[in-house]
Amino acid sequence: MRSVNIQDIAREAGVGKATVSRVINGKGYVSRETAAKIRAVMDRYHYQPSALARSLSRRESDAIGLIIPEANNPFFSSLLTGVCEVLEKCGYTLILRTSGNDTQRDYRALEAMRYQRVRGLIYVPACNYENERDFEQMASRLNDLGSPYVILDRPISRLDCDCVLSDNFSGAYAATEALIRAGHRAIGVIAGNTQLVIGRERVEGFRKAMAQNGLPLHRPFLLTGSFGQEETYRQVTMLMREPEHPTAFFIANNRSEIGFLHAMRDLKLKIPADAAFVSFDELPGQLVFELPYSCLDREVASLGAKAAQLLIRRFDEPGRPAERLVVVPRLTLRGSEKRIARK
Amino acid sequence: MRSVNIQDIAREAGVGKATVSRVINGKGYVSRETAAKIRAVMDRYHYQPSALARSLSRRESDAIGLIIPEANNPFFSSLLTGVCEVLEKCGYTLILRTSGNDTQRDYRALEAMRYQRVRGLIYVPACNYENERDFEQMASRLNDLGSPYVILDRPISRLDCDCVLSDNFSGAYAATEALIRAGHRAIGVIAGNTQLVIGRERVEGFRKAMAQNGLPLHRPFLLTGSFGQEETYRQVTMLMREPEHPTAFFIANNRSEIGFLHAMRDLKLKIPADAAFVSFDELPGQLVFELPYSCLDREVASLGAKAAQLLIRRFDEPGRPAERLVVVPRLTLRGSEKRIARK
DNA sequence: TTGTAAGCGTTATCAC
DNA sequence: GTGATAACGCTTACAA
């Protein structure tokens, strides 16, 4: 790893290394000529200072950590993109880790960030750390980190810190209302992972919309649990085979949506005639294939960008009160919500 | 950024910092009792050594750089996933940059990696740096990096280094042969970006397959250029309106495929009856929606993983000859290649 | 305007 | 076995 260092440059330019340091950082007095001479030498040697040494000396690194559950997921990779863009523009270095939604890996990721002495952290937790013990653990770990952090997408309650979240409740509310306005009355909800706070908030939004409109909530129409595509497939299949079943669904997440769609296909049921729906987030490729599925959109990359901006802003104003950005998803109706007679 | 350091631990444990260092790194002699005492103190203080100081002292960082064109693209985010997994398992730190397929940003990314003194680099170049000047630039920049690197997916010719590539030629060849075997004779190619080597290799594979089977190459059936979705849309639309047009296409990339599909839809042409095709790489969501599109698959994440392994291996054996991994894409036929009569 | 020297938190080389 | 001490490459008072 030995490369030319500040000492080499100083020697070659016949000056002290402090002077070289001054021209590198463009601060402190240094005469035009000296500066020019030094710059010439630096160019000649392709000199590039060492971030390592610099950070150590300044007691402040320029690395920002990002922890996401998975990189291979359109939602998180969009967040990543937003974060990336801002950091590059602002001259920070991005250190990335994934947790695979696994608590242990999540902890290890956090440790890795501490090890690297990141200047700050953008964090999409593997889960919400709701039970007392887990919460304490997490709070203390984040505290140990010793750097500011922004919680992204998945709230950890009681943590008074910057965060960028989605308004899952009102998103779900709006989606459900759209179904109601379309004329549906027997509406079901596919809740996705209710282990996660965001999952529960979505169910709550649904409930509220139903209640406000005086619509009953059939217990069997509530498909909740911590399940993915296959489980949804099974549950939807069973439900739709019952004589009494919903004419529409609010689907709280992507994976459930896929399970739902497959179930519909295998049951030979048509959308929206046999079952209408509105879901959270676009399915990847949905726009490309121009499928008329109504859903709640979030400008995902901009969520990431906002988180990065919030973090950077905190560097300058460490004292300011924690900011809580809650972005309301936009409802886009494309037809799958309609109530139409079966042909 | 001030956190408890090795000195603090040493003092508290009543030993020298060298001894603490020994237990941290688990090498060198240190008595059972001393070690236990030190470990106790470290635990009590949640001590975590500083990667910064460590790297500086060892003259060797544990950071590995990854440069990809965009994070928000299923292909690259899969590569990223593969890289990420291996690095985490092996205890390396991932530093990520994107180039946006832009040469200038690509250069800046490279500089950033040099600045960080990455131990090694995994690099998907923004382009192939084919012209003499660009190549020299790139070669010298990579040399300046001073660390081993692995070129991923987009070859830079004449660079004698580790790389992980796809066999675009034989992929294209296989795809074209599949169309021929299905009974097509008038076959077109949608070449995508022939600025990139991988684009041209695909066209070459196509040509070879046609030639080997004694099939003619109609010049107008070759849609080449550096274009994306819209341009493909236009060109396909025009071509298919001609009385003489292909009955099948080999489509060299994702974006072109989208343009093609949209053109087909707007022309009210059916796949594969009016135009069959085989393309490179799955479209995101294609499997979910179970669209019967035939394509060449690569296990993308494993390409990334291989690159990471290659790089890490080189750390241990700096002298070994450059390795060139060329992965042959697997052809998956799902129906869109068929030659069937228009109903 | 410039140079000297003392850090920054480690590791590594020696003596002891 | 263990502890000084000199690196590592930089920044930053403080002198000059």
Secondary structure of residue B239 in the 3-state scheme: helix
For residue B58, the model assigns a pLDDT of 97
Give the separation between CA A319 and CA A306, rounded to whole angstroms. Answer: 19
Name the band, by pLDDT with cuts 50, 70 and 90, for residue A342: low
Give the separation between CA B42 and CA B52, rounded to whole angstroms. Answer: 18
Give the C-alpha distances (Å, rounded to integers) separating B44 from A168, B40, B48: 40, 6, 11
Of the given ranges (A20-29, A316-325, B161-170, B278-287), which has the lowest mean pLDDT?
Answer: B278-287
Q: Which residues of B touch A52 (CB under 8 A)?
A: 52, 55-56, 61, 116-117
Q: Which of residues 12 through 71 in chain A touch B, CB cutoff 8 A?
A: 46, 48-53, 55-56, 59-61, 63, 70-71
Give the separation between CA B252 and CA B229, rounded to whole angstroms. Answer: 12
Name the band, by pLDDT with cuts 50, 70 and 90, for residue B228: confident
Rounded to 10 deg, the angle between the A74-90 and A300-316 helix axes is 40
Record: contact A71-B59, CB cut-off 8 A:
no
Q: What is the mean pLDDT of residues A68-88?
A: 96
Contacts of B235 (CB under 8 A, 6+ apart): B190, B223, B227
Q: What is the mean pLDDT of residues A84-102?
A: 97
For chain B, give the number of residues. 343
For residue A343, the model assigns a pLDDT of 52
| Bridge partners, residue B96, by sequence | A94, B66
pLDDT tens by residue, A193-243: 888 899 999 999 999 999 999 999 999 999 987 667 888 999 999 999 999
For residue B284, the model assigns a pLDDT of 86
Record: contact B70-A53, CB cut-off 8 A:
no
pLDDT tens by residue, A181-190: 999 999 999 9
For residue B122, the model assigns a pLDDT of 98
Is pLDDT at B193 greater than 90 in this prediction? no
Q: Which residue is nearest to nucleotide D13 (CA to C1')?
A: A18
In the predicted model, what is the mean pLDDT of chain A?
95
**pTM of the entire predicted model:** 0.95
Q: How far is CA A320 from the centre of its chain?
A: 23
Sign of torsion, CA A179 A181 A187 A188?
positive
Record: contact A258-B115, CB cut-off 8 A:
no
* Amino acid, single-letter form, for residue B193: N
Q: State the DSSP H helix or E strand holding residue B187, giving kind and residue range, or none if neither.
A: strand B187-190
Q: What is the mean pLDDT of residues A29-44?
A: 96
pLDDT tens by residue, B84-113: 999 999 999 999 999 999 999 999 999 999
Name the band, by pLDDT with cuts 50, 70 and 90, for residue B230: confident
